[in-house]
Amino acid sequence: MARPRAFDEAAVLDAAVDCFWSKGFEATSVRDLAAQMGITGASLYNAFGDKRALYEQAFARYVREGVHARIARLEDLPPLEAIETFFAEVVANALGDPARKGCFLVNATLELAPHDPRFRRLVEEVLGAMQGFFRRQVEKGRALGVVTATGEADELAGMLLGQLLGLRVLSRVDPSPARLEGMLRPLFALLRAP
């Protein structure tokens, strides 16, 4: 009979997210993880597998608790409000991050996706979910007459996704309100363009 775990799995996984988010995959050692998670290296391996398996679980938790939860929460708002709130929350997170960790998704995309086909697929799924959210909002906005920008809905959604990713990268360098909010004003004006 297996012994019950002597730790809160969600809490230690959150600690792993923080550790990987701060240092990245390559620079994070199993010793770093165990120390931040408050468990032994043996417990880490027994509960989560190797470092790569733990990283994937941490990434999945970040995506579930961050990206997918945000999409679900904003999905039924009026379309422009949903888009603007999505970006406003990202800006608030960037401004409230003195360590300038950026976005775990963007960091993982740059570090692992180029040379890890499985991870690339995971990232593509998340990016697809975000672009899908933006596309649905653009389509709803057009149906209501509040999104008047020309172009295909999927192309506008891709532009929103690109701006979001660019904003997350720039927030690591210059997370000033003027810079980040200044990037968004013309974007939102474009959605209402005749």
Q: CATH code for 75-191? A: 1.10.357.10
* pLDDT for the residue numbered 41: 85
- CATH 1.10.10.60 assigned to 7-55: yes
Spans of all domains in the chain: 7-55, 75-191
**Rounded CA gap, 65 and 81, in Å?**
21
- Residue 147: the pLDDT is 94
- Predicted model pTM: 0.90
What rounded mean pLDDT belongs to the chain?
92
| Across 113-136, average pLDDT | 95
CB 32 within 8 A of CB 23: yes
Within 10 A of 75 (CB to CB), how many other CB atoms are there? 12
The stretch 66-75 carries a mean pLDDT of 97
